[in-house]
Structure 1
Amino acid sequence: MKVLHLASFSGNIGDVANHESFYKCFKDLFIEDLAIEKIEIRDFYYSINKRRFDEEFVEYLNTFDLFIFGGGNFFELCWDYSDTGTTFNISNNLLRKIKVPILINGIGIDDFKGTTNENIEKFRSFLNTLLNYSNVLFTVRNDGSYEIFKKYYPEYVEKIAEIPDFGFFVSDVYEMKSYKPILKNKSIGINIAKDMEEFRYTNVSYEEFLRGMAQLIEYILNTTNYHVMLFPHILSDYEVILNVNEYVNHPDKRIRLSISGLVQEKELETFKLYKECDFIFATRFHSNICAISLNIPTFGIITYPKHGIVYEKIKLSNRKQNLNSNQIFDQMKQQVDLCNDHYHMKQIKKSYNDSILELIKVRDSYLEKLKNWMENYIGK
């Protein structure tokens, strides 16, 4: 079976965790060999413009047995230049020419960056064309995308389903099983981000955030024996990490403060390093959910609304806090203190395990539906 997969494969290790987890489950469904060709969606972005959704793309796509789009947050309804209002800038005329089954796999639908009535209607027209075909399976990830879809397109809501982002199952990927710790002491991990600064740092300024995170790192170094491991997920994360480092004034930072690598085509190496941690403060979407998958207690620093919705969806609302005041840094210090409370940490891990078990049930039900759908439409 030949599969063309359009998504993000470079530049963000969280996307890779999502895809690799999906591939493991997907390949387990089938006896026959699968040949998956990956196409980077960023090449189609208006700002990059290396490729286009045109006749040539559709002709090539039709040589495959299946087209997978996503996962990823690619249905943002804010792009005025696009025929669909999203980064999937394909015309309805071209969409109708796609002959192979289409799997929209755990996609993110987003209006938090703003939208317009024109974009809403362009996407409605796209949905009308797409969902009138019987060979389409459309799923959204569990980050509030279902509710956003229902808000604007209630007439189509019965034709989509909500599934867990596959990052929740990264612990099942074989590369994660064989890791052996390299540090003598356990770490507290920290993932922070700078992109989308206009959304992340509104109630707490970027400068205040840097000072607060530096104070947190100093608190860890002063009050515990933990190593501090800083985790970038994209290249710009190094900028905020280095900015924070400028404010850290502690003699031990030279020997107890580390920054993980970001190696393209070896992205899962970073998540192996997550397993060095007893606790993780996480900003990014996949930093939060992959840590939960690995059964590492987290404190979600919510700087973008959908990332907090994920915690609510899996009934772990007490494990996150919006970055809406400087009081969050005192809360984070309290979380550090609780790392020594073995009963408390055990309870967090139990609640994470319980949530993952529930997500596995939803995932397995989806995979069964996916298998049945593919048996009905592949090659027909």
Structure 2
Amino acid sequence: MKISDLITVRDRKSYEFVSRIKKRGNYYFFPDIVFGFEASPLKKENTKSSAEILGISVYRSIVYPEKNYNFLVQIARLIEEYISKTGNKVRLFAFDSGSENDTLSAIEIFKLVNHPEKHKKIEVVIFDGDIQSFVNKFSECSYIIGTRFHSIVLSLIQKIPCYPIIYSEKTENLLEDLGFSGKKIFWDKLTTNEVFFLLDQILKKVDCFDNANIDKARSLSKHFDVLKDFLNNFTHK
């Protein structure tokens, strides 16, 4: 890192860390690169479902596998309560279908849900490389419980009300940079009380993010711009 010609980071804490070890000023802090995407796959389609759909980004830890079960049980409980109170559908989004494989968590949550209509009400959506199809399913949701980092970013881009569940320091850093002032909920310590808190947020459609900060993040995400300038300067040396 000390000898790198160019470094871009996506949160302020990382920037402060790099600044302590780099003597040259060739490092930059910009919001996550996805905030800057204007390409059609990430834009919200005009196919909003008339029905209310709760989207939940699930998570599976391979570092702390012993902590997975409580998360799965609590999310299953949230789904049971949501379906019972609203009769609406739920989509479980598996953003990672690779090494951590959120698909396994989605399937296990489905099994744990104790509701007679769960086969009609719950859909598992797995990212298989088809960005447009995945994002279309995501954009039809009326509220998002976001555990995966990019589920939060994507909900913000598409202006879908979202409540985050923190699974890593990078999520905490994102929330801090966006000025998040809501209750912090951690995936590995999810409690029954927090499940009912989340349910209340969902039913009230509480949007806990400042749109001004989000718009600013989108305007400042310039990772590719800096890289382009760097490569142009490098090739003309």
Question: Which bin holds the TM-score, normalised by the shorter protein?
Answer: 0.7 to 0.9
Residue 284, structure 1, aligned to residue 148, structure 2? yes
1:244 alignment partner in structure 2: 109
TM-score scaled to structure 2, two decimals? Answer: 0.84
Counterpart residue type for residue 185 of structure 1: A
Residue 360, structure 1, aligned to residue 218, structure 2? yes
Structure 1 position 193, deviation (Å): 1.0
Residue 144, structure 1, aligned to residue 18, structure 2? no
Q: Distance in 2 between matches of 1:299 and 1:219?
A: 17
Structure 1 position 289, deviation (Å): 1.0
Structure 1 position 209, deviation (Å): 1.7
User: Is contact 1:231–1:260 with CA below 8 Å preserved after alignment?
Assistant: yes
Aligned length: 232
Q: Which has the higher contact order (CA 8 A, sep 6+)?
A: 2
Change (3 A) 1:191 1:145: same
Identity %: 22
Counterpart residue type for residue 259 of structure 1: V
Counterpart residue type for residue 165 of structure 1: D
Q: Secondary structure at the match of 2:56?
A: strand
TM-score scaled to structure 1, two decimals? Answer: 0.55
Q: Deviations over 1:94-125 (max 9, x none)?
A: xxxxxxxxxxxxxxxxxxxxxxxxxxxxxxxx
Q: Distance in 1 between matches of 2:35 and 2:88?
A: 26
Change (3 A) 1:261 1:206: closer
Q: Secondary structure at the match of 1:321?
A: coil
Residue 330, structure 1, aligned to residue 196, structure 2? yes
Change (3 A) 1:287 1:177: closer
Q: Which stretch shows the higher mean deviation, 290-299 or 153-162?
A: 153-162
Q: Name which of 273, 281, 284 aligns with 2:137.
A: 273
Unaligned runs of 5+ in 1: 1-126, 131-135
Counterpart residue type for residue 181 of structure 1: T
Change (3 A) 1:158 1:331: farther
Change (3 A) 1:300 1:160: same
Q: Name which of 211, 217, 220 aligns with 2:79.
A: 217
Q: Deviations over 1:220-272 (max 9, x none)?
A: 101114310110012211111111112111122111111113222x2342122
User: Is contact 1:189–1:229 with CA below 8 Å preserved after alignment?
Assistant: yes
2:36 alignment partner in structure 1: 169
Change (3 A) 1:262 1:361: closer
Unaligned runs of 5+ in 2: none
Larger Rg: 1
Residue 314, structure 1, aligned to residue 178, structure 2? yes
* RMSD value, Cα: 2.7
Q: Deviations over 1:46-94 (max 9, x none)?
A: xxxxxxxxxxxxxxxxxxxxxxxxxxxxxxxxxxxxxxxxxxxxxxxxx
1:228 alignment partner in structure 2: 90
